[in-house]
Amino acid sequence: MQRHFRIVLVALAWFATCADTLVNPQVPPPGQSDAFKDGYVDGCRTGFQDAGRDGFQLAGRRDEKRYDTMADYKAGFDQAYKACFEEEKRNPRMMGNPGGVGGRHR
């Protein structure tokens, strides 16, 4: 019983130290307005684009009118932009080239 308890404690400690890396920055926090969620989606795509994530070269978009007039949209955009930009810089993701490593060779 004591060994099982130690294993659980070690697992909980590991999870607590890694919890921030398990958060998906592309998912808006629950309980937000639709305007916040829209801004969040746009901000994350733009953050990934500006950080150079493969597949997001043309994904960025900010609705300037909503950004300038809707506090929730602006808050969502700014929060997601920062989270997704930083995520890409910490953990770059690249799409493989066809025929590259692990691909078929001619």
Q: What is the pLDDT of residue 8?
A: 46
The per-residue DSSP string of 22-51 comes to GS-TTSPPTT--HHHHHHHHHHHHHHHHHH
Which tens digit of pLDDT belongs to each residue from 66-87? 999 999 999 999 999 999 999 9
Phi then psi dihedrals of residue 31, to 5 deg: 80, 15
Q: Which residues of 51-83 are buried (b: 16+ CB within 10 A; e: fewer)?
A: bebeebeeebebbeebbeebebbbbbbebbbeb
Q: Domain map of the chain by residue range?
A: 24-90
Q: What is the pLDDT of residue 95?
A: 64
Q: What is the pLDDT of residue 58?
A: 85
**Termini Cα distance of the chain:** 58
Q: Is the pLDDT of residue 98 over 80?
A: no
More confident residue, 50 or 98: 50
Which tens digit of pLDDT belongs to each residue from 13-68? 444 444 444 568 889 999 999 999 999 999 999 999 999 999 888 888 999 999 99
**pTM for the full model?**
0.67
Please report the beta strands in the chain, taking only residues with DSSP state E, as ranges in sequence order: none
Q: What is the pLDDT of residue 59?
A: 85
The whole-angstrom separation of Cα 46 and Cα 42 is: 6
